Structure 1
Amino acid sequence: MASEKLGFGIEQLGENGIAWILMKIRVDIQRNPKVGETITIETWPQEPGRIEYGRDFIVRDEQNHILIKAISSWVVMDLRQRKIRRSSSVPIHFSAVDNRRAIEAKLGKLKAAGTLETAYQKMIGYSDIDFNGHLNNSRYVDYVMDCFALQEHQKYHITSIEVHFTNEVLPGEVIELKKDTSAAQENGVYIEGINTNTNKVVFKSRLRIEAE
Protein backbone atom coordinates (compact mmCIF):
# COMPACT_ATOMS: atom_id res chain seq x y z
CA MET A 1 0.00 0.00 0.00
CA ALA A 2 1.05 3.59 -0.66
CA SER A 3 0.57 4.49 3.01
CA GLU A 4 2.93 1.68 4.04
CA LYS A 5 5.65 3.06 1.76
CA LEU A 6 5.24 6.41 3.51
CA GLY A 7 5.53 4.67 6.89
CA PHE A 8 1.89 5.07 7.90
CA GLY A 9 0.31 1.75 6.93
CA ILE A 10 -2.14 -0.42 8.86
CA GLU A 11 0.53 -2.18 10.93
CA GLN A 12 2.47 0.99 11.71
CA LEU A 13 -0.65 2.80 12.92
CA GLY A 14 -1.84 -0.30 14.78
CA GLU A 15 1.28 -0.15 16.94
CA ASN A 16 0.00 3.22 18.18
CA GLY A 17 -3.57 1.97 18.73
CA ILE A 18 -5.00 3.91 15.79
CA ALA A 19 -6.32 3.07 12.32
CA TRP A 20 -7.29 4.67 9.02
CA ILE A 21 -11.06 5.04 8.51
CA LEU A 22 -12.52 5.97 5.13
CA MET A 23 -15.18 8.69 5.46
CA LYS A 24 -15.96 9.82 1.91
CA ILE A 25 -15.05 8.73 -1.59
CA ARG A 26 -16.04 9.65 -5.13
CA VAL A 27 -15.11 7.51 -8.12
CA ASP A 28 -15.59 8.68 -11.72
CA ILE A 29 -15.47 5.90 -14.31
CA GLN A 30 -14.46 6.56 -17.91
CA ARG A 31 -14.23 2.86 -18.72
CA ASN A 32 -14.17 -0.32 -16.66
CA PRO A 33 -10.95 -2.39 -16.95
CA LYS A 34 -11.33 -5.61 -18.92
CA VAL A 35 -10.48 -9.09 -17.64
CA GLY A 36 -6.76 -9.74 -18.20
CA GLU A 37 -6.01 -6.07 -18.91
CA THR A 38 -2.94 -4.54 -17.24
CA ILE A 39 -3.65 -1.32 -15.40
CA THR A 40 -1.55 1.17 -13.44
CA ILE A 41 -2.84 2.84 -10.26
CA GLU A 42 -1.36 6.17 -9.19
CA THR A 43 -2.20 7.55 -5.75
CA TRP A 44 -0.98 10.44 -3.63
CA PRO A 45 -1.91 12.21 -0.36
CA GLN A 46 -3.25 15.72 0.05
CA GLU A 47 -2.20 18.20 2.73
CA PRO A 48 -3.85 17.01 6.00
CA GLY A 49 -6.65 19.10 7.46
CA ARG A 50 -7.63 19.42 11.12
CA ILE A 51 -9.01 15.88 11.21
CA GLU A 52 -9.23 14.73 7.58
CA TYR A 53 -6.61 13.28 5.25
CA GLY A 54 -7.27 13.43 1.52
CA ARG A 55 -5.99 10.87 -0.98
CA ASP A 56 -6.47 10.89 -4.76
CA PHE A 57 -6.28 8.07 -7.30
CA ILE A 58 -5.91 7.70 -11.07
CA VAL A 59 -6.17 4.38 -12.92
CA ARG A 60 -4.65 4.12 -16.42
CA ASP A 61 -4.50 1.44 -19.11
CA GLU A 62 -1.40 0.27 -20.98
CA GLN A 63 -1.77 3.19 -23.44
CA ASN A 64 -1.75 5.61 -20.48
CA HIS A 65 -5.42 6.47 -21.03
CA ILE A 66 -7.29 7.35 -17.85
CA LEU A 67 -9.92 4.76 -16.93
CA ILE A 68 -10.90 5.84 -13.43
CA LYS A 69 -10.37 8.89 -11.22
CA ALA A 70 -11.12 9.10 -7.51
CA ILE A 71 -10.87 11.43 -4.53
CA SER A 72 -11.26 10.31 -0.92
CA SER A 73 -11.28 11.60 2.63
CA TRP A 74 -9.94 9.65 5.62
CA VAL A 75 -9.68 10.09 9.39
CA VAL A 76 -7.62 8.40 12.07
CA MET A 77 -9.58 6.59 14.78
CA ASP A 78 -8.41 5.66 18.27
CA LEU A 79 -9.23 1.94 18.38
CA ARG A 80 -9.57 1.82 22.14
CA GLN A 81 -11.78 4.89 22.61
CA ARG A 82 -13.49 4.53 19.17
CA LYS A 83 -13.03 8.27 18.69
CA ILE A 84 -11.60 10.29 15.81
CA ARG A 85 -8.18 11.81 16.50
CA ARG A 86 -7.08 15.25 15.31
CA SER A 87 -4.21 15.25 12.84
CA SER A 88 -2.08 17.26 15.28
CA SER A 89 -2.30 14.43 17.84
CA VAL A 90 -1.13 11.53 15.63
CA PRO A 91 2.41 10.72 14.37
CA ILE A 92 1.62 11.16 10.65
CA HIS A 93 3.68 13.62 8.63
CA PHE A 94 4.17 13.67 4.86
CA SER A 95 7.58 14.86 3.65
CA ALA A 96 6.07 16.00 0.34
CA VAL A 97 2.50 16.69 -0.73
CA ASP A 98 1.21 16.68 -4.31
CA ASN A 99 -1.43 19.39 -4.74
CA ARG A 100 -2.86 17.92 -7.95
CA ARG A 101 -6.45 16.75 -7.80
CA ALA A 102 -7.72 13.70 -9.66
CA ILE A 103 -11.19 15.29 -9.69
CA GLU A 104 -11.71 19.03 -9.31
CA ALA A 105 -14.58 18.77 -6.85
CA LYS A 106 -15.35 18.80 -3.14
CA LEU A 107 -16.93 15.95 -1.24
CA GLY A 108 -19.95 17.92 -0.05
CA LYS A 109 -23.19 16.84 1.58
CA LEU A 110 -25.44 14.22 0.00
CA LYS A 111 -29.23 14.21 0.34
CA ALA A 112 -32.25 12.75 -1.38
CA ALA A 113 -34.05 14.83 -3.99
CA GLY A 114 -37.40 13.08 -3.53
CA THR A 115 -39.11 10.26 -1.66
CA LEU A 116 -37.07 7.33 -0.35
CA GLU A 117 -38.41 3.83 -0.95
CA THR A 118 -37.16 0.65 0.72
CA ALA A 119 -35.18 -1.60 -1.61
CA TYR A 120 -34.31 -4.43 0.81
CA GLN A 121 -32.74 -5.26 4.19
CA LYS A 122 -29.34 -6.82 4.84
CA MET A 123 -28.09 -8.47 8.04
CA ILE A 124 -24.35 -8.03 8.58
CA GLY A 125 -22.46 -11.31 8.93
CA TYR A 126 -18.89 -12.41 9.55
CA SER A 127 -17.86 -12.18 5.88
CA ASP A 128 -18.97 -8.53 5.79
CA ILE A 129 -16.61 -7.17 8.46
CA ASP A 130 -13.00 -5.95 8.33
CA PHE A 131 -10.07 -6.26 10.74
CA ASN A 132 -11.51 -3.41 12.87
CA GLY A 133 -14.61 -5.54 13.54
CA HIS A 134 -17.10 -3.37 11.68
CA LEU A 135 -18.67 -3.42 8.21
CA ASN A 136 -16.01 -3.32 5.48
CA ASN A 137 -16.24 -0.18 3.31
CA SER A 138 -16.07 -2.20 0.09
CA ARG A 139 -19.25 -4.06 1.00
CA TYR A 140 -21.34 -0.87 0.94
CA VAL A 141 -20.87 -0.65 -2.83
CA ASP A 142 -22.05 -4.26 -3.19
CA TYR A 143 -25.17 -3.39 -1.20
CA VAL A 144 -25.81 -0.33 -3.39
CA MET A 145 -25.52 -2.44 -6.54
CA ASP A 146 -28.01 -4.95 -5.10
CA CYS A 147 -30.63 -2.19 -4.96
CA PHE A 148 -31.13 -2.67 -8.70
CA ALA A 149 -32.57 -5.58 -10.63
CA LEU A 150 -30.40 -7.47 -13.12
CA GLN A 151 -32.38 -5.96 -15.98
CA GLU A 152 -31.53 -2.46 -14.74
CA HIS A 153 -27.82 -3.33 -14.62
CA GLN A 154 -28.08 -4.56 -18.20
CA LYS A 155 -29.79 -1.34 -19.30
CA TYR A 156 -27.59 1.18 -17.48
CA HIS A 157 -23.99 1.56 -16.37
CA ILE A 158 -22.49 3.75 -13.64
CA THR A 159 -20.26 6.67 -14.58
CA SER A 160 -19.78 8.04 -11.07
CA ILE A 161 -20.43 6.97 -7.49
CA GLU A 162 -19.91 8.93 -4.29
CA VAL A 163 -20.29 7.35 -0.85
CA HIS A 164 -20.21 8.99 2.58
CA PHE A 165 -19.81 6.76 5.65
CA THR A 166 -21.44 8.22 8.76
CA ASN A 167 -21.82 5.48 11.41
CA GLU A 168 -20.19 2.09 11.87
CA VAL A 169 -22.19 -1.14 11.61
CA LEU A 170 -21.42 -4.28 13.61
CA PRO A 171 -22.07 -7.99 12.96
CA GLY A 172 -25.65 -9.02 13.68
CA GLU A 173 -27.05 -5.58 12.94
CA VAL A 174 -29.43 -4.97 10.04
CA ILE A 175 -29.22 -2.27 7.36
CA GLU A 176 -32.32 -1.12 5.52
CA LEU A 177 -31.41 0.10 2.02
CA LYS A 178 -33.53 2.98 0.70
CA LYS A 179 -33.32 4.60 -2.73
CA ASP A 180 -34.61 7.72 -4.44
CA THR A 181 -34.91 7.49 -8.23
CA SER A 182 -36.83 10.75 -8.70
CA ALA A 183 -33.82 12.28 -10.50
CA ALA A 184 -33.21 9.25 -12.73
CA GLN A 185 -34.26 11.23 -15.81
CA GLU A 186 -31.30 13.51 -15.05
CA ASN A 187 -29.12 10.39 -14.60
CA GLY A 188 -29.00 10.66 -10.82
CA VAL A 189 -29.87 8.07 -8.14
CA TYR A 190 -29.58 8.49 -4.37
CA ILE A 191 -29.25 5.55 -1.96
CA GLU A 192 -28.77 5.44 1.81
CA GLY A 193 -28.60 2.76 4.47
CA ILE A 194 -30.25 2.93 7.90
CA ASN A 195 -29.24 0.76 10.86
CA THR A 196 -32.55 -0.71 12.02
CA ASN A 197 -31.02 -1.46 15.44
CA THR A 198 -30.10 2.20 16.13
CA ASN A 199 -32.25 3.99 13.51
CA LYS A 200 -29.12 5.90 12.43
CA VAL A 201 -28.09 6.57 8.83
CA VAL A 202 -24.88 4.60 8.28
CA PHE A 203 -24.08 5.75 4.74
CA LYS A 204 -25.29 7.98 1.93
CA SER A 205 -24.49 7.58 -1.75
CA ARG A 206 -25.10 9.28 -5.07
CA LEU A 207 -24.77 7.61 -8.46
CA ARG A 208 -24.60 8.94 -12.00
CA ILE A 209 -25.95 6.49 -14.56
CA GLU A 210 -26.05 6.28 -18.35
CA ALA A 211 -27.95 4.00 -20.69
CA GLU A 212 -25.92 1.26 -22.42
Structure 2
Amino acid sequence: MKARPWIESRVVRASDVTPNGTASVLALATFFQEAAGRHAAALGVSMQDLLADGKAWVLARLRMEVDRLPAWEEEITIETWPSGLDRLYATREFVFRDQDDRELARGTSAWLVIDTERRRPLRPPSVLYDIEVPDRPAPLGQEEVDFAALSTVDREQTFSVRYHDLDLNRHVNNVRYLEWALETLSPEILEERRCVGIALQFEAETTLGDSVRATAEEQQEGDSLRVRHRLSHATSDRTLARAVTRWTSISEDESR
Protein backbone atom coordinates (compact mmCIF):
# COMPACT_ATOMS: atom_id res chain seq x y z
CA MET A 1 0.00 0.00 0.00
CA LYS A 2 1.33 3.41 -0.94
CA ALA A 3 0.82 6.07 1.71
CA ARG A 4 0.02 9.53 0.46
CA PRO A 5 0.67 12.59 2.62
CA TRP A 6 -2.26 13.53 4.83
CA ILE A 7 -3.39 17.15 4.55
CA GLU A 8 -5.97 18.88 6.72
CA SER A 9 -6.92 22.44 7.57
CA ARG A 10 -7.35 24.04 10.97
CA VAL A 11 -8.49 27.45 12.14
CA VAL A 12 -6.60 28.83 15.14
CA ARG A 13 -9.09 29.12 17.98
CA ALA A 14 -9.07 31.55 20.90
CA SER A 15 -8.08 28.65 23.18
CA ASP A 16 -4.99 28.02 21.02
CA VAL A 17 -3.44 31.47 21.37
CA THR A 18 -1.25 33.17 23.96
CA PRO A 19 -1.73 36.74 25.23
CA ASN A 20 0.49 37.78 22.28
CA GLY A 21 -2.35 36.81 19.91
CA THR A 22 -0.59 33.94 18.17
CA ALA A 23 -0.91 30.19 18.52
CA SER A 24 1.40 28.61 21.05
CA VAL A 25 3.87 25.88 20.12
CA LEU A 26 1.71 23.70 22.37
CA ALA A 27 -1.17 24.23 19.92
CA LEU A 28 1.03 23.31 16.96
CA ALA A 29 2.16 20.14 18.72
CA THR A 30 -1.47 19.25 19.43
CA PHE A 31 -2.51 19.93 15.81
CA PHE A 32 0.25 17.62 14.61
CA GLN A 33 -0.64 14.88 17.10
CA GLU A 34 -4.27 14.93 16.00
CA ALA A 35 -3.42 14.92 12.28
CA ALA A 36 -1.00 12.04 12.83
CA GLY A 37 -3.74 10.09 14.61
CA ARG A 38 -6.22 10.61 11.78
CA HIS A 39 -3.67 9.56 9.19
CA ALA A 40 -2.80 6.46 11.22
CA ALA A 41 -6.51 5.58 11.30
CA ALA A 42 -6.73 5.94 7.50
CA LEU A 43 -3.75 3.55 7.22
CA GLY A 44 -5.41 0.98 9.50
CA VAL A 45 -3.24 1.51 12.58
CA SER A 46 -5.31 3.90 14.70
CA MET A 47 -4.96 4.16 18.47
CA GLN A 48 -8.36 2.48 18.76
CA ASP A 49 -7.17 -0.42 16.58
CA LEU A 50 -4.11 -0.92 18.75
CA LEU A 51 -5.95 -0.56 22.07
CA ALA A 52 -8.34 -3.32 21.02
CA ASP A 53 -5.27 -5.55 20.75
CA GLY A 54 -3.69 -4.47 24.04
CA LYS A 55 -1.28 -2.06 22.38
CA ALA A 56 -0.89 1.71 22.05
CA TRP A 57 1.08 4.36 20.21
CA VAL A 58 3.44 6.53 22.28
CA LEU A 59 5.51 9.46 21.08
CA ALA A 60 9.21 8.88 21.73
CA ARG A 61 10.84 11.93 20.10
CA LEU A 62 9.67 15.20 18.58
CA ARG A 63 11.62 18.00 16.92
CA MET A 64 10.08 21.13 15.39
CA GLU A 65 11.34 24.41 13.95
CA VAL A 66 9.02 27.41 13.73
CA ASP A 67 9.33 30.33 11.28
CA ARG A 68 6.09 32.05 12.27
CA LEU A 69 3.30 31.31 14.70
CA PRO A 70 -0.16 31.70 13.12
CA ALA A 71 -2.53 34.33 14.45
CA TRP A 72 -5.93 33.92 16.08
CA GLU A 73 -8.60 32.89 13.52
CA GLU A 74 -5.96 32.25 10.85
CA GLU A 75 -6.54 29.15 8.74
CA ILE A 76 -3.55 26.86 8.32
CA THR A 77 -2.86 23.46 6.79
CA ILE A 78 -1.00 20.53 8.33
CA GLU A 79 0.67 18.01 6.05
CA THR A 80 2.08 14.81 7.55
CA TRP A 81 3.38 11.50 6.24
CA PRO A 82 5.13 8.35 7.50
CA SER A 83 8.80 8.23 6.55
CA GLY A 84 9.79 4.69 7.47
CA LEU A 85 10.84 2.37 10.27
CA ASP A 86 13.99 2.64 12.35
CA ARG A 87 14.24 -0.52 14.44
CA LEU A 88 11.25 -0.27 16.82
CA TYR A 89 10.51 3.35 15.87
CA ALA A 90 8.00 4.48 13.25
CA THR A 91 9.05 7.89 11.97
CA ARG A 92 6.69 10.63 10.77
CA GLU A 93 7.30 14.07 9.26
CA PHE A 94 5.09 17.17 9.18
CA VAL A 95 4.84 20.68 7.73
CA PHE A 96 2.55 23.60 8.63
CA ARG A 97 1.65 26.13 5.92
CA ASP A 98 -0.40 29.32 5.73
CA GLN A 99 -3.03 30.08 3.10
CA ASP A 100 -0.35 31.48 0.76
CA ASP A 101 1.42 28.10 0.90
CA ARG A 102 4.32 29.53 2.89
CA GLU A 103 5.86 27.25 5.49
CA LEU A 104 5.11 28.18 9.09
CA ALA A 105 6.82 25.26 10.80
CA ARG A 106 8.22 21.83 10.08
CA GLY A 107 9.20 18.82 12.11
CA THR A 108 9.97 15.16 12.57
CA SER A 109 8.90 12.56 15.11
CA ALA A 110 9.46 8.98 16.20
CA TRP A 111 6.79 6.73 17.68
CA LEU A 112 6.75 3.41 19.54
CA VAL A 113 4.07 0.75 19.94
CA ILE A 114 3.87 -0.51 23.51
CA ASP A 115 2.14 -3.36 25.31
CA THR A 116 -0.45 -1.54 27.44
CA GLU A 117 -0.16 -4.07 30.31
CA ARG A 118 3.60 -4.61 30.46
CA ARG A 119 4.34 -1.03 29.28
CA ARG A 120 7.15 -2.31 27.07
CA PRO A 121 7.94 -1.51 23.41
CA LEU A 122 6.78 -3.98 20.78
CA ARG A 123 7.64 -4.66 17.18
CA PRO A 124 5.65 -2.26 14.92
CA PRO A 125 2.41 -3.69 13.45
CA SER A 126 3.01 -5.78 10.32
CA VAL A 127 0.88 -3.40 8.22
CA LEU A 128 3.55 -0.72 8.64
CA TYR A 129 6.09 -2.92 6.84
CA ASP A 130 3.75 -3.09 3.85
CA ILE A 131 3.34 0.68 3.53
CA GLU A 132 5.28 2.41 0.77
CA VAL A 133 6.21 5.78 2.22
CA PRO A 134 6.17 8.94 0.06
CA ASP A 135 9.42 9.59 -1.80
CA ARG A 136 10.15 13.07 -0.59
CA PRO A 137 12.88 14.81 1.41
CA ALA A 138 12.54 15.18 5.15
CA PRO A 139 11.54 18.74 6.14
CA LEU A 140 14.29 18.81 8.79
CA GLY A 141 17.87 17.67 8.34
CA GLN A 142 19.49 15.13 10.61
CA GLU A 143 20.61 16.70 13.88
CA GLU A 144 21.90 15.21 17.09
CA VAL A 145 20.24 17.03 19.98
CA ASP A 146 22.24 17.32 23.18
CA PHE A 147 19.95 16.10 25.95
CA ALA A 148 22.76 15.93 28.52
CA ALA A 149 22.06 16.63 32.18
CA LEU A 150 21.54 20.22 33.27
CA SER A 151 24.68 21.81 34.72
CA THR A 152 22.65 24.28 36.79
CA VAL A 153 19.00 24.95 37.64
CA ASP A 154 17.77 28.46 36.84
CA ARG A 155 14.05 27.76 37.13
CA GLU A 156 12.05 25.07 38.91
CA GLN A 157 8.40 24.21 39.42
CA THR A 158 6.41 21.17 40.54
CA PHE A 159 3.16 19.93 38.99
CA SER A 160 0.67 17.26 40.02
CA VAL A 161 -0.69 14.82 37.45
CA ARG A 162 -4.44 15.40 37.21
CA TYR A 163 -7.11 13.22 35.63
CA HIS A 164 -7.44 15.54 32.63
CA ASP A 165 -3.70 15.26 31.95
CA LEU A 166 -4.20 11.61 30.94
CA ASP A 167 -4.81 10.32 27.42
CA LEU A 168 -6.47 7.21 25.97
CA ASN A 169 -3.84 4.81 27.28
CA ARG A 170 -3.95 6.46 30.72
CA HIS A 171 -0.54 8.06 30.72
CA VAL A 172 0.21 11.77 30.63
CA ASN A 173 -0.47 13.30 27.22
CA ASN A 174 2.72 14.09 25.31
CA VAL A 175 1.91 17.78 24.93
CA ARG A 176 1.43 18.13 28.69
CA TYR A 177 5.14 17.48 29.26
CA LEU A 178 5.97 20.32 26.88
CA GLU A 179 3.44 22.54 28.66
CA TRP A 180 5.06 21.86 32.03
CA ALA A 181 8.51 22.57 30.60
CA LEU A 182 7.41 25.93 29.16
CA GLU A 183 5.35 26.88 32.22
CA THR A 184 8.54 26.74 34.26
CA LEU A 185 10.00 29.69 32.32
CA SER A 186 9.73 33.27 33.52
CA PRO A 187 6.84 35.46 32.32
CA GLU A 188 9.44 37.77 30.73
CA ILE A 189 10.65 35.01 28.41
CA LEU A 190 7.12 33.97 27.50
CA GLU A 191 6.00 37.57 26.90
CA GLU A 192 9.06 39.00 25.17
CA ARG A 193 10.31 36.02 23.19
CA ARG A 194 8.91 33.57 20.66
CA CYS A 195 9.77 29.87 20.61
CA VAL A 196 11.47 28.99 17.31
CA GLY A 197 12.50 25.43 18.04
CA ILE A 198 11.71 22.50 20.29
CA ALA A 199 13.21 19.06 20.74
CA LEU A 200 11.70 16.52 23.11
CA GLN A 201 12.75 13.07 24.21
CA PHE A 202 10.39 10.99 26.33
CA GLU A 203 11.89 8.45 28.72
CA ALA A 204 9.26 7.30 31.23
CA GLU A 205 5.58 7.54 32.09
CA THR A 206 3.71 9.07 35.00
CA THR A 207 0.37 8.16 36.51
CA LEU A 208 -2.50 9.95 38.18
CA GLY A 209 -1.50 11.72 41.38
CA ASP A 210 2.26 11.72 40.72
CA SER A 211 4.24 14.91 41.26
CA VAL A 212 6.43 16.07 38.39
CA ARG A 213 9.41 18.36 38.91
CA ALA A 214 10.27 20.60 35.96
CA THR A 215 13.69 22.26 35.90
CA ALA A 216 15.27 24.56 33.32
CA GLU A 217 18.72 25.91 32.51
CA GLU A 218 18.88 29.11 30.45
CA GLN A 219 21.80 29.70 28.08
CA GLN A 220 22.16 33.00 26.23
CA GLU A 221 23.52 32.57 22.68
CA GLY A 222 23.96 36.05 21.22
CA ASP A 223 20.49 37.51 20.80
CA SER A 224 18.89 34.08 21.13
CA LEU A 225 18.07 32.04 24.21
CA ARG A 226 18.53 28.29 24.48
CA VAL A 227 16.82 26.50 27.36
CA ARG A 228 17.50 22.94 28.46
CA HIS A 229 14.64 21.26 30.34
CA ARG A 230 14.34 18.17 32.49
CA LEU A 231 11.09 16.67 33.77
CA SER A 232 11.46 14.15 36.57
CA HIS A 233 9.40 12.27 39.13
CA ALA A 234 9.46 14.50 42.21
CA THR A 235 9.85 11.57 44.61
CA SER A 236 12.16 9.13 42.83
CA ASP A 237 13.95 11.72 40.63
CA ARG A 238 13.52 9.37 37.67
CA THR A 239 13.81 11.30 34.41
CA LEU A 240 10.50 11.42 32.53
CA ALA A 241 11.45 13.64 29.60
CA ARG A 242 14.15 16.01 28.41
CA ALA A 243 13.74 18.98 26.11
CA VAL A 244 15.63 21.79 24.47
CA THR A 245 13.80 24.96 23.39
CA ARG A 246 15.13 27.96 21.46
CA TRP A 247 13.75 31.49 21.70
CA THR A 248 14.09 34.73 19.73
CA SER A 249 13.06 38.27 20.60
CA ILE A 250 9.56 39.10 19.40
CA SER A 251 10.54 42.70 18.63
CA GLU A 252 13.49 41.62 16.48
CA ASP A 253 11.38 39.02 14.74
CA GLU A 254 8.66 41.53 13.87
CA SER A 255 11.14 44.10 12.53
CA ARG A 256 12.38 41.80 9.78
Structure 1 length normalisation: TM-score? Answer: 0.92
Q: Does 1:188 align with 2:226?
A: yes
Larger deviation: 120-129 or 176-185?
176-185
Residue type at the aligned position of 2:243: S
Structure 2: distance between partners of 1:95 and 1:75: 17
Larger deviation: 55-64 or 117-126?
117-126
Residue type at the aligned position of 1:53: A
Structure 1 runs (4+) greater than 3 angstroms displaced: 106-109, 182-186
1:113–1:182 Cα contact (<8 Å) kept: no
Aligned to 1:125, which of 156, 162, 167?
Answer: 162
1:158–1:207 Cα contact (<8 Å) kept: yes
- Residue in structure 1 matched with residue 126 of structure 2 by the alignment: 91
| 1:102-121 → structure 2 map (5 Å cutoff) | 102-106=139-143, 108-112=145-149, 114-121=151-158
Structure 2: distance between partners of 1:111 and 1:146: 21
- Residue in structure 2 matched with residue 164 of structure 1 by the alignment: 201
Structure 2: distance between partners of 1:109 and 1:19: 28
Structure 2: distance between partners of 1:197 and 1:31: 38
**Displacement after TM superposition at 1:28 (Å):** 0.7
| 1:15-164 → structure 2 map (5 Å cutoff) | 15-87=52-124, 90-93=125-128, 94-99=130-135, 100-106=137-143, 108-112=145-149, 114-164=151-201
| 1:3-14 → structure 2 map (5 Å cutoff) | 3-14=40-51
Structure 2: distance between partners of 1:211 and 1:109: 23
2:212–2:234 Cα contact (<8 Å) kept: yes
**Displacement after TM superposition at 1:15 (Å):** 2.2
Structure 1: distance between partners of 2:184 and 2:221: 14
Name the structure where helix makes up a greater proportion of residues: 2
Residue type at the aligned position of 1:206: V
Structure 2: distance between partners of 1:107 and 1:149: 27
Larger deviation: 20-29 or 97-106?
97-106
RMSD, aligned CA: 1.7
Q: Gapped runs of 5+ residues in structure 1?
A: none
Q: Percent of aligned pairs with the same residue?
A: 23
Structure 2: distance between partners of 1:107 and 1:77: 25
Structure 1: distance between partners of 2:150 and 2:235: 26
Deviations 1:23-64 (A, max 9, x none): 110111111111111111110001112100100000111100
Structure 2: distance between partners of 1:204 and 1:107: 14
Structure 2 length normalisation: TM-score? Answer: 0.77
**Displacement after TM superposition at 1:116 (Å):** 2.5
Deviations 1:122-173 (A, max 9, x none): 1111111111111111111211221122222121111001111100011111
